[in-house]
Amino acid sequence: MLDALYREIMEESGIRKAHNIVFLGEHAYYSETLKQHVQRYYYQLDADAPEAFTHVVQSNDEDNGWIFHYSWMDLESCPPLYSHLGEHLDKLRHLANK
């Protein structure tokens, strides 16, 4: 399973080194767009990456060519996230305050 996680991190962000991986949870739902059930997994990790960067996805999937712009932000100043994503952000805040 870690091999798949590392592959996804590399594909979606270009980040080659990730460590201190903590599983936060998962979320299952039915996607009307895809017409299928989807299972998402959420992790906290440390990554060797610049403060801000852009990555173009290179894959054999529908996201090939998508452009992502990344930047890090402080957990306390992060805006609320939609739906189940906010739940996992709260878990990150809890972990950070331990």
CA–CA dist 51, 47 (Å, integer): 11
85 compared with 73, residue with greater pLDDT: 73
Model pLDDT for residues 54-72, shown as the tens digit of each residue: 999 998 888 999 999 999 8
pTM above 0.75, yes or no: yes
The full set of domain ranges for the chain reads 2-96
Determine the pLDDT at residue 36. 95
- Output the average pLDDT for the chain: 89
User: Does residue 97 register a pLDDT over 90?
Assistant: no
Model pLDDT for residues 4-19, shown as the tens digit of each residue: 999 999 999 999 999 9
52 compared with 60, residue with greater pLDDT: 52
CA–CA dist 98, 25 (Å, integer): 18
The SS3 of residue 96 is: helix
A 10 A CB-CB count for 65 gives 9
Q: What's the 3-state SS for 19-73?
A: EEEEEEEEEEEEECCCCEEEEEEEEEEEECCCCEEEEECCCCCCCCCCEEEEECC
Model pLDDT for residues 17-50, shown as the tens digit of each residue: 999 998 988 999 998 988 999 998 989 899 989 9
